[in-house]
Structure 1
Amino acid sequence: MLTHLKLNNFKIWRSTGQMQLAPLTLVFGTNSSGKSSLIQSLLLLRQTVKSQDTSLDLNFGSPDSNDSVVLGQFADVLCRHGAATGIVKAKQIGIEFGWQPREPGVAGGTFTAKYVQGQGGSADLAYLRIGSAGRGFTAQLGRHGAYKLLPENARYWSKQSPTFKPQRSFSFSDSAVKALGGDADRVLSVGPMLLAELGRFIYLGPVRRLAQRDYIWNGRMPGSIGDDGAQAVDALIASGVAKQVAAKRGLPVPAAAALFNGAIHWLSRMGLADDLQVRQLGRSARYEVLVVNNGEASNLKDVGVGVSQVLPVVVAALFAERGSIVMVEEPESHLHPVAQTELAEMLASVSRDRGVQFIVETHSEHLLRRMQTLVARETVKTEDLRMYFVEREGNIAKLQALDVDVFGTIRPWPEHFFGDSAGEAREQAKARAERMKRVVSNA
């Protein structure tokens, strides 16, 4: 589980401060205020450590490489209104996050990095610290592109060399490992921990893949559902077929069918489907997904867009293994208010019962209101929930923590959080009075 996030001079963020994260973290705010940049920073690190190009300190992404984010060059990511602070210099980008595995007795850690502009608009690592319970290291850029290393608990820095540069912001060259000698174990043990934590990420962007009339399924459960949910239906088909096979053989419902049954449960609660069916088209590898309402089955393509947009969200939550971190933008897209409130119920239930962390960027007042209700009902603990409001102050973003007490009350309530409802009511009353006056005068 991620415990905190801190950005400095990253896109619109001059500084977020230390943003505390919880099993349920909801981020609200106005358009173009910087909400998505919070998630993008984590996706940027994930695609960097997964990159095959060891020369990249930050992989800003390419539209031809199927990267999660494509951010351009260093100048595009550096906050144009950034300033020097006690943490970073004016022309530096800073990214930090902490993690704590939910398994008892397993130590967490912290990743802290600072970057400067390199050749051709790339990013050069200026400082890196990855630490966890006595293991870890600090790397510092010196003169002429040379780096020095300080293993955790070591008394002295290593000698400097360009070959000591951490690769992809976390791993080391053979020459660096050899130079560290007996201290190398403390350095090398941290990389796999960081990789494991970033490997727990499941991300769904704000625009999910639209429904198709049928799907080619390869007969296996996919390894991921894709950033646009393109493989979500594949996962649903795999689970549905497992349920069908067991039923035909008179066997108990298998564990593989849990995703399919869970999707039916939550879609039903949202008022979007009474049942789901998976049907093979002849003997081909093509399958169609049918949505059943009021006893009538319709192809997924023929039902409302809201179903195809929320289905990947539901599948992502149920697909996630214990300890996963699911990051979703605008899960409420194309959903009516009742369905949006049930989204809050699903997030809370999956997080509590299956140990999944959710970081959600949303505009949904209905999701927020139900989350307040769940706190008041003691279904969600206050320590398991963090909510933030993001707004722009001139050219920079500002992060405001929304404190939720045990009764579900939010303080402070940001001005114009979900529009000016009181002001709108006054304008409506004024317009109604003026029109009634005209009707009376013309009678």
Structure 2
Amino acid sequence: MLTALHLGNFKAFAEIQNIPIRPITLIFGPNSAGKSSIIHSLALAHEASRKGDLDIFRTEVGGSSIDLGGFRQYIHRRQANRRMEWGATFDTSCLSGRLGELLKPVGTISAHITIGMPLDDQDKPLAGTLPGVISYELESRGEMLVRMSKRPDGSMAVDRLNHDHPVIKQVVMAVLESGTTTQNVQEADYNALTETIAEIVSSLRTTGSKFFPEGIVDKSKQTEETDTPMPFFSVSKGNRTEDLSRALRFFLPRSLNELVTGLSKTVQTEFARLLYLGPLRSYPPRHLAFSEHDDINWYAGGGYTWDVVRRNDAVRESVNEWLSSSKLKTPYKLMVRSLVAADRLKEPIESGLAQIENDEEAMFVGSIDKDGYVMKHYPPKDDSRCFFEDIETSAELIAKIVESAEIDRIRDLVLVDQRSNTVVTHRDVGIGISQVLPVLVMAYGSQHKLVAMEQPEIHLHPALQAELGDVFIKSALGEQKNTFILETHSEHLILRFMRRLRETYQKKDNGLPPITPMDISVLYVEPDGPHSIVREMPLNELGELVKAWPGGFFEEGLREQFGDA
């Protein structure tokens, strides 16, 4: 799981900003301070991991809401000779297999990438070139594990392997003890192998050209023996160091390849689960069944969420519960109705009428007298006609036959005003419902996703902004285990989180998963001269801010009520 981002020379940020990410992360700050830069960095990582391109303009996940404009636009202060720093830290307890065993003791692992343009001897970007990855680095516990950088020929080589790091030492010890006849590699053995490790590192190159390297190979060997059985090396007493060196030359490149490959897949998997909702939600056409699925903002504008509600009964039920609860108190309920071409109704209606006609209890024979009353009689007379015994029951029978008929139908989503049982659409009610529905669907319909939203509270009155807090708590800390990154201006939203922290501490049962300060990250982005910085605003167990908001943020209400004095 992603636990932190690291950004430098990206949009509003100059020096590297360390940005803690928790199951619920709130980003506050004044307008144009750079809050969206954090979310835009996620979109960049998503696009770069997917395509390997770093001169990114419009992103798939961001639609028209996130247009990075290319490297020369998103690099800090538009200075193309700068180097962008991007990094991510992951909780190693979520890793599986051999990689998980290897990294679990260190707790976290960080991947750092430097991105830039090729420069000439005047430190200016070379004409006609594109940005690329300049260096990669893996770090744990604040110490570098391995560093790779680009060579003049365009290849990426390993510069340094920190053989003193516990992880690297564990790798070396493990491969020697499992791949040789020795059962106990001593500290003296390890120290004697430092020159061998340096020689191995000098011939290592990375493979793949995407956002993160796909692996490591030993270029000193003509062919890679990936399909051959793993050998078992004999270690003699007289040639112990030489024998261990021979085994290490074989095993270490493969173990480092396993490490880099596993972390590369972790980065790609993490950012592949990104969902984004922009600040301006889609306002679909009146008939949702005919909305444009190939719209560029189908995802970023939340248009797809209407389709989820139309197709997914469980999500629709959850949204309806929120709409009709004592909290929202709307009279509306989302329902699905079938649209059928009129010319396809003839056969099922005829079938239904035939069934009724042959049912003596459903039909009777009679005639209409001079006063307009229907008179039953048997046997039939010259003016006899067939009449429905119960028109409502007969209509229900025909409706069921039409519903079960094998005819093409389109499922359309509608709102029902339960006060009058009137069918309406989102176009007939306040815009607040259309704007909050994508937020609710992302929360109720997602699982193990990284969900980034800009202004989830838009067009909601204060009480409902607070109620959204409970939706996020349930989705993040309940069974769905989503991670939310929310750029917001809502004081009411954070007040709800503060309240739930306090209730958890007091052991009050509010029907929600418990929430602790380790589950929430509150960030404040503010200008600091020509660039912006990110401040962490920690909360304690009582839901109190440990330090005051910078610059009196959220004090506007007090100033308006009592004046500047």
- TM-score w.r.t. the length of structure 1 is 0.78
* 1:270 paired to 2:332: no
Residue in 2 that maps onto 1:324: 449
Q: 1: distance between equivalents of 2:517 and 2:442? A: 24
Distance 1:387 1:141 in 2: 37
Q: Separation in 1 of the partners of 2:274 and 2:114? A: 22
Query: Which residue identity lines up with residue 314 of structure 1 in the other structure?
Result: L
1:208-219 alignment runs, 5 A limit: 208-216=281-289
Q: CA deviation at 1:238?
A: 0.9
Larger Rg over CA atoms? 2
Rounded Cα–Cα distance in structure 2 between residues aligned with 1:383 and 1:409: 14
Q: Does 1:200 align with 2:200?
A: no
Assess, with a 3 A threshold, how the Cα gap between structure 1 residues 344 and 121 changes in structure 2: closer, same or farther: farther
CA RMSD of aligned residues (A): 3.4
Partner of 1:78: 75
The answer as to whether partners of 2:306 and 2:438 remain within 8 angstroms in 1 is: yes
Q: Is the 8 A contact 1:306 1:334 kept in 2?
A: yes
> In the alignment, what sits opposite 2:152?
143
The equivalences for 1:217-232 within 5 A come to 226-232=299-305
1:117, distance to aligned residue in structure 2 (A): 1.5
The equivalent of 2:366 in structure 1 is none
CA distance in 1, matches of 2:23, 2:542: 19
Aligned counterparts of 2:203 and 2:542: Cα–Cα separation in 1: 57
Q: 1:258-292, CA deviations, whole angstroms, 9 ceiling, x for partnerless residues?
A: x1211112233334455321112224435132154
Contact 2:336 2:411 in 1 (8 A): no
Name 1:311's counterpart in structure 2: 437
Corresponding residue SS for 1:3: strand
- Tell me, yes or no, if structure 1 residue 422 matches structure 2 residue 466: no
Match of 2:508 in 1: none
1:360-399 equivalence runs, <5 A: 360-378=486-504, 379-399=514-534
Deviation string 1:183-220 (CA, Å, 9 cap, x unpaired) is: 234433333222211122111111111132112379x9
Matched letter for residue 319 of structure 2: A
C-alpha distance in 1 between matches for 2:223 and 2:521: 41
Which blocks of at least 5 consecutive residues in structure 1 are unaligned?
A: 83-88, 241-256, 431-443
Query: 1:4 matched to which residue of 2?
Result: 4
Q: Equivalent residue for 1:49?
A: 49
Counterpart of 1:277, as a letter, is M
Give, as a single letter, the amino acid of the residue that structure 1 aligns with 2:286: R
Distance 2:222 2:558 in 1: 67
The separation in 1 between residues aligned to 2:463 and 2:309, in whole angstroms, is: 23
Report the secondary structure of 2:9's partner residue. Answer: strand
Distance, in Å, in 2 between the alignment partners of 1:96 and 1:116 is 14
Ranges in structure 2 where 5+ consecutive residues have no aligned partner? 119-126, 162-166, 173-196, 225-252, 341-407, 505-513
Q: What's the offset of the Cα at 1:308?
A: 0.9
Q: Which amino acid aligns with 1:265?
A: E
Structure 2 counterpart SS, 1:415: helix
Say whether 1:333 aligns with 2:458.
Answer: yes
Alignment of 1:290 onto 2:415 = yes
The answer to whether the aligner puts 1:299 opposite 2:435 as a matched pair is: no
Deviates more, 1:39-48 or 1:370-379: 370-379
**Aligned match of 1:261:** 317
SS at match of 2:17: coil
Deviation of residue 27 (structure 1)?
Answer: 0.5
> Cα distance, 1:93 vs. partner?
0.5
Q: How far apart are residue 160 of structure 1 and its match?
A: 7.5
Partner Cα distance (2:305, 2:31) in 1: 27
Shift of residue 389, structure 1, vs aligned partner: 1.2
CA–CA distance in structure 1, aligned partners of residues 558 and 216 of structure 2: 65
CA–CA distance in structure 2, aligned partners of residues 347 and 278 of structure 1? 26
Contact 1:300/1:308 (<8 A) preserved: yes
With 24-33 and 140-149 compared, the bigger mean Cα shift is at 140-149
The answer (yes or no) to whether the contact 1:213–1:301 under 8 Å persists in 2 is yes
Kindly report structure 1 stretches of 4+ aligned residues shifted beyond 6 Å.
63-66, 173-180
State the alpha-carbon separation in 1 of the partners of residues 92 and 217 from structure 2: 31
Matches within 5 A, 1:61-100: 61-62=57-58, 69-80=66-77, 91-100=82-91
Check if 1:20 corresponds to 2:27. Answer: no
Q: For residue 3 of structure 2, what is the amino acid of its counterpart?
A: T
Task: Specify the code of the residue in structure 1 equivalent to 2:335.
Answer: Q
Name the residue aligned to 1:355.
481
**CA gap 1:141/1:175 in 2 versus in 1, 3 angstroms:** same
After TM superposition, the score normalised by the length of structure 2 is: 0.62
How far is the alpha carbon of 1:366 from its aligned partner?
Answer: 1.0
Contact 2:5 2:87 in 1 (8 A): yes
287 and 79 in structure 1: CA distance in 2 versus 1, 3 angstrom threshold: same
Change beyond 3 A, Cα 1:291–1:92: farther
| Greater Cα offset, 194-203 or 62-71 | 62-71
Look up the SS of the partner of 1:377 in the other structure. Answer: helix
* Superposed CA offset, 1:69-114 (max 9, x none): 32123222221298xxxxxx98210011112377586556422100
Q: Return the letter of the residue paired with 1:415.
A: G
Partner of 1:434: none
